[in-house]
Amino acid sequence: MAETTTKTHSVTADGRRLTLSWAGVTDVGRRRETNQDAFFAEYPLFVVADGMGGHAGGEIASQSTVRRLESLVSEGQVERRAIEAALQAAVDDISEHPETTDEGTGTTLTGVFLEFEDDEPHWVSLNIGDSRVYLLRDDRLVQVTTDHSVVQELITAGKISPEEAEGHPYSNVITRAVGASELTAPDYVRFEVHAGDRFVICSDGLTKELTDYGIQHFLREHDDPAAAVDAMLAAALENGGRDNVTIVVVQVAEDPSSTEAEPTA
């Protein structure tokens, strides 16, 4: 396995210079023969995709989607309309691929990106499916995204509890995906950029093996994103590694070199 490394990029928000740092990792897990997950993590876009549909179909779907989004970063066009156009192109790629034979071929997609308004950045999360984005802010971990799944609909309707969802027979059935059908736009949630924020973007291979408390624990234990993703991956594998596991951690810190000296009297 290649060594996980942390990358950084500086941005200015509200007159302050901030440093973004991030790292990502993906692993086939302990029980799968192939890895149908994919991720892309380069400023200003950080996403995870979890493919499904046949032996090769899921890998085709996740990689096609990530590849289309990766091109947006190289073109400098990371904004909502461009993202949705890229996802529609990915749907076409998936449906036209010679190895896409399963009508259920598709992929989840979730992540965050920086969007600029009047030269000021803010975060936007995007989500299709049941991969997740978590945000640790002020030492409190919250799930930013809402799963597009049958069990989430049952939870929302009050028919089952969150504790009953994990063992539910439809626990792996999602209601939205990027695939060989008409694209449904992602859900978006906007956040201000705050120093100290830490995002975890992950496939359900992580959340099957680690509770929210476990995710928060490893973030607290490891300040460096690369160390945090490696620790969470190791724990997920130790706990069973029943699925492919993909994790991206993105965090924001104030750049101490940007602090201006106080004026003297």
Which domains can be identified in the chain, with CATH numbers?
Answer: 9-257 (3.60.40.10)
Q: What is the pLDDT of residue 180?
A: 60
Distance CA(202)–CA(229), nearest Å, equals: 10
CB atoms within 10 A of CB 213: 8
Model pLDDT for residues 172-207, shown as the tens digit of each residue = 778 899 986 778 899 999 999 999 999 999 999 999
End-to-end Cα distance, the chain: 57
CB atoms within 10 A of CB 34: 12
Give the residue among 189, 194, 202, 190 at the shortest CA–CA distance from 137. Answer: 194
Model pLDDT for residues 137-148, shown as the tens digit of each residue = 999 999 999 999
- Per-residue pLDDT band at 264 (split at 50, 70, 90): very low
pTM above 0.85, yes or no: yes
Is residue 233 within 8 A of residue 177, CB to CB? The reply is no
Distance CA(47)–CA(209), nearest Å, equals: 20
Q: What is the pLDDT of residue 136?
A: 98
- Per-residue pLDDT band at 102 (split at 50, 70, 90): low
Distance CA(262)–CA(245), nearest Å, equals: 47
Is 55's pLDDT higher than 90?
Answer: no
Alpha-helical (H) ranges within the chain are 57-75, 80-96, 150-156, 162-165, 204-207, 212-221, 225-238
Distance CA(242)–CA(61), nearest Å, equals: 20
